[in-house]
Structure 1
């Protein structure tokens, strides 16, 4: 029945500024409604986000609201800190990890590599990819440490 996530929505204080930000990270503007709502494709004709200009942006952040995670390829994630800096966007600390490189949160059977940053209104944005975990590692660590532990000789 359910095939995936089609849309998610975020509050923004300045629609024009937010559209520019999301276009900068690769989303594609589809349309604007009443100069207050914008829809941008994450994957064209598959998934998008809605940005709603409102004065309700200052809701205290919590991971259960005002958070989006975009799936990326591992090779792209490895260069993401510099890629963001080139766009004048800076990764932020998350889960105790400094924003120097992506970090890994592992479970017994799989792991996720990720990095976090904020949009102009403090909405939390995450770039993430799923990793195999053949050694059943459960520690959290930087991606470079993960790769060293999982090297095949």
Structure 2
């Protein structure tokens, strides 16, 4: 029945500032509804992000709200720190990892590599990809450490 995520929404303080920020990430502006809502395509005709202009942006951050993770390939994730900085977007510390490179979180057969950053209103964003974990390694480490670990167990 469910085939994917069609839309997600975030509160923003100023659409005129937020639309260009998300365009720098590669999202495509589609349309506005009145003056307080803009839709940006994440994947054209498949999934989009709704940006709601609001004065209630000061909600305390919690992963269940004000957070979106964008899927990227491992190849692109490896270039993500430089890619973000080239767009004047600073990656940020997350889970104790400095934003010098992506890091991995692995539990059981699940493993994901990611890098975190914020939009202009402090909404938490991340670029993430799933990793193969046939040996069921667990833990958190930088991606370069993970790759050495995986190579060592092959």
Q: Report the TM range for the smaller structure's normalisation.
A: over 0.9
Consecutive aligned runs of 4 or more in structure 1 exceeding 4 Å deviation: none
Aligned residues: 153
Q: How does 1:1-153 map to 2 (within 5 A)?
A: 1-151=1-151
Q: Whole-Å Cα distance in 1 between the matches of residues 63 and 109 of structure 2? A: 24
What stretches of structure 2 of length at least 5 have no aligned partner? none
Q: Whole-Å Cα distance in 1 between the matches of residues 25 and 102 of structure 2? A: 17
Q: Whole-Å Cα distance in 2 between the matches of residues 136 and 37 of structure 1? A: 43
Deviation of 1:108 (Å): 1.5
Deviation of 1:110 (Å): 2.4
Normalising by structure 1, we get a TM-score of 0.97
Q: Whole-Å Cα distance in 2 between the matches of residues 106 and 94 of structure 1? A: 15
Please state whether the residue corresponding to 1:57 is helix, strand or coil: coil
CA RMSD of aligned residues (A): 1.0
Normalising by structure 2, we get a TM-score of 0.97
